[in-house]
Amino acid sequence: MPEYLSITASDIDPGLLSLPWSLPLSDWPSSSIVYLPKGLSRHLVRFANLSGRVVAIKETTEEMARREYDMLGNLARLDVPCVERVAVIGGRRDAAGAPLPAALVTAHLKFSLPYRALFTQVLRPHTATRLVDALAVLLVRLHNVGFFWGDVSLSNTLFRRDAGAFAAYLVDAETGELHESGLTPGQREHDLDVARTNIAGEIMDLAAGGRLEGGIDAVAVADGILSSYRSLWAALTDQESFSASESWRITERVHKLNALGFDIGEMSISTTGDGTRVAIRPKVVDAGHHQRRLLRLTGLDVEENQARRLLNDLDEFRARAARPGQDEDMVAHEWLTRIFEPVVTSIPFDLRAKLEPAEVFHQVLEHRWYMSQARGVSVPLAEVVSSYIDDVLRHRRDEATVMGPPTETMSLPVIRLNDDDEDDDGSDEIDWRDLV
């Protein structure tokens, strides 16, 4: 390693030393580069191989690289969806000793999709709406921890499939600021205004390139982030006042937030002098309610909507297969080993890079619904899996590293197993062998 090269990282990967830092990023050889779709950026960004994984490398000033590196670390500690920081490379020089820009290295988010890679030919209206809704959720989470983004856009976001929807991840924190005391309404509105302007421009750019389905109003799509954001922000932060005799509304408020995927860490409750009215306001709201429950029960770490979907299947399994009084953790382990894992492990190795396991399971449940509707009877799960692999999965492009078209048609509710799947002994216990 040249004496002038400096590497800042919490855990230095020795593979960093073998990358050609003495060359401008634009001149890196193809042997070091991984060709993946990426979003628009004001800086040069390229993907590279690093010790068997893919990283994104962005050339910028050393000051900006270190600032963004620190910001990504702070956001990760606050459990905000963002890319993982890897290192800052400073002191770069070419073979003649001339200085080169510093580089920020971040981990490539597997199965993530830049918004331009979410479609093969044209962007459909439903996909555009889901992207904006996912970005609104991300912006609410960022604002909730006091992060002012400053450059909200689809281009600065990565998207992962989340059981028919999308989950958004911040990929560019260069302009961000973290305020421990929280954001003012003006700062939040500024981010919303920037988001609306940028999204409208990005959608119009797609239209200019002939990649927008006819009838999509770019401004209307961009306006969608305002309504989505304000509706969710109000649900999380608005103060609610009611009669002291209606204390059940406290539990109702908690359940409503849980349904939205959030947990309340603290709640402020105040009463009037005569105790006739009560006012409540959530103080600390953490996203990932269903993720945490599924992780606790099964060890599966998935997106929020995927967790909700898997928990629905787990709860249905528990209602049918569990013995009275059986421990929830034991039922979850049984569901994991007898339902979820057999579906996932039945996917051929050459197809496992196409979708995440949780998304595969979600799509299998959707595929079963369609097959059952077509036949008028519940189709055994093993038959569904075989059909899904041959008729759906084989025709998708890999998304572990290469992006493909969106999950567009799979968004209807699932009909579960009926009594035809009971064991021969008359019990409601479900066995994978009975589904073959």
The answer to whether residues 40 and 95 belong to one domain is yes
Average pLDDT, the chain: 82
The answer to whether residues 11 and 56 belong to one domain is yes
Q: What CATH number does residue 20 fall under?
A: 3.30.200
Q: Strand, helix or coil at 237?
A: helix
Q: Is residue 18 part of a domain?
A: yes
The answer to whether residues 85 and 12 belong to one domain is yes
The answer to whether residues 97 and 131 belong to one domain is no
Taken in order 363, 364, 365, 367, is the CA torsion positive or negative? positive
Q: Pick left, alpha or beta for residue 164 (phi over 0 → left; psi -120 to 50 → alpha; otherwise beta).
A: left
**Domain span including residue 277:** 240-287
Which of the 8 DSSP states describes residue 147? E
Q: Is residue 57 part of a domain?
A: yes
Q: Is residue 143 part of a domain?
A: yes
Backbone angles phi, psi at 431, to 5 degrees: -120, 140
Give CA–CA dist 355/212, Å, rounded.
25
Question: Which one of 214, 237, 260 terminates a domain?
Answer: 237
Q: Is residue 322 part of a domain?
A: yes
Q: What CATH number does residue 174 fall under?
A: 1.10.510.10
Give CA–CA dist 425/262, Å, rounded.
42
Tell me how crowded residue 112 is: count the other CB atoms within 10 A of its CB.
23
Give CA–CA dist 161/164, Å, rounded.
7
- pLDDT surpasses 70 at 397: no
- pLDDT surpasses 80 at 67: yes
Q: Which of 36-45, 118-127, 157-166, 382-391 has the highest mean predicted lDDT (pLDDT)?
A: 382-391
Q: Is residue 297 part of a domain?
A: no
- pLDDT surpasses 90 at 215: no
Q: pLDDT for 139-157, tens place per residue?
A: 999 999 999 999 999 999 9
Say if residues 149 and 244 touch (Cβ distance below 8 Å).
no
The answer to whether residues 232 and 244 belong to one domain is no
Q: Could you tell me the two tokens for 331?
A: 């039922």
- Using a 10 angstrom Cβ sphere, with 0-12 exposed, 13-18 middle and 19 or more buried, the burial of residue 95 is exposed
Which of the 8 DSSP states describes residue 156? T
Say if residues 253 and 269 touch (Cβ distance below 8 Å).
no
Tell me the pLDDT band of 110, cut-offs 50, 70 and 90: confident
Q: Strand, helix or coil at 278?
A: strand
Q: Is residue 295 part of a domain?
A: no
The answer to whether residues 94 and 52 belong to one domain is yes
The answer to whether residues 419 and 431 belong to one domain is yes
Give CA–CA dist 93/62, Å, rounded.
13
The answer to whether residues 268 and 338 belong to one domain is no
- pLDDT surpasses 70 at 433: no
Taken in order 306, 308, 310, 313, is the CA torsion positive or negative? negative
Q: pLDDT for 304-337, tens place per residue?
A: 889 989 998 888 888 777 555 678 888 889 899 9
How many structural domains compose the chain?
4
The answer to whether residues 197 and 269 belong to one domain is no
Say if residues 155 and 41 touch (Cβ distance below 8 Å).
yes
- pLDDT surpasses 60 at 96: yes
Tell me the pLDDT band of 404, cut-offs 50, 70 and 90: very low
Q: Is residue 412 part of a domain?
A: yes
% the chain with pLDDT above 70: 85
The answer to whether residues 414 and 320 belong to one domain is yes
Tell me the pLDDT band of 343, cut-offs 50, 70 and 90: very high
More confident residue, 274 or 424: 274
Tell me the pLDDT band of 211, cut-offs 50, 70 and 90: confident
Instruction: Give me the pLDDT at residue 421, please.
Output: 37
Q: Which of 111-120, 191-200, 360-369 has the highest mean predicted lDDT (pLDDT)?
A: 191-200
Instruction: Give me the pLDDT at residue 427, please.
Output: 33
Question: Which one of 287, 319, 346 terminates a domain?
Answer: 287
- pLDDT surpasses 90 at 245: no
Give CA–CA dist 390/395, Å, rounded.
8
Give CA–CA dist 150/188, Å, rounded.
10
The least confident of 77-81, 112-116, 223-227, 380-384 is 112-116
Q: In terms of Cα–Cα distance, which of 143, 210, 222 is closest to 183? A: 143
DSSP string, 291-322: HHHHHHHH-----HHHHHHHHHHHHHHHHHHP
Q: Which residue has the tokens 């990565």?
A: 158
Tell me the pLDDT band of 196, cut-offs 50, 70 and 90: very high
Give CA–CA dist 305/309, Å, rounded.
6
The answer to whether residues 320 and 421 belong to one domain is yes
Q: pLDDT for 353-368, tens place per residue?
A: 888 899 999 999 999 9
Give CA–CA dist 309/58, Å, rounded.
36
Question: Which one of 254, 287, 320 terminates a domain?
Answer: 287
Q: Is residue 293 part of a domain?
A: no
Instruction: Give me the pLDDT at residue 157, please.
Output: 93
- pLDDT surpasses 60 at 57: yes
The answer to whether residues 130 and 228 belong to one domain is yes
Mean pLDDT of 70-91: 94
More confident residue, 220 or 420: 220
Instruction: Give me the pLDDT at residue 400, please.
Output: 55
pTM of full prediction above 0.85 = no
Give CA–CA dist 152/229, Å, rounded.
13
